[in-house]
Amino acid sequence: MKIIVTYDIIKNKIRGEIADILFFYGLLRVQNSVFFGDIKKRKIKNLVKRIKSIELEEEDSIYIFKVCEKDFKNINFFGKSIN
């Protein structure tokens, strides 16, 4: 399953920790705070557990979007492709 993860994290240390976790799960950074990848459902559950274990600030946010193949093919993008 393809996922897109986007976050807005205030502290550099926490932001780096989140990025390290996303890299560990094989996701690619497509923008500073946006990651993309193809990951098995079981691993998504583990990823969510790891992220939940991190203490976020009140202003912080992390979104994980699951994207099916059909919807992914309909994404409009401009510039460098993430294929």
Question: Residues 12-64: pLDDT tens digits?
Answer: 999 999 999 999 999 999 999 999 999 998 999 999 999 999 999 999 999 99
Given this model, what pLDDT does residue 80 score?
74
Number of structural domains (the chain) is 1
CB 17 within 8 A of CB 60: no
For 64, the 3-state DSSP assignment is: strand
**Given CA atoms 19, 47, 8, 60 in this order, what sign does their dihedral have?**
negative
Is the residue at 66 inside a domain? no
Residue 83 predicted with pLDDT over 80: no
R_g of the chain computed on alpha carbons:
13
pTM over 0.75: yes
Q: Which domain holds residue 16?
A: 2-60
CB 28 within 8 A of CB 81: no
CATH of residue 33: 3.30.70.240
**Angstrom distance (rounded) from CA 26 to CA 38:** 8
| 37's tokens | 């990848």
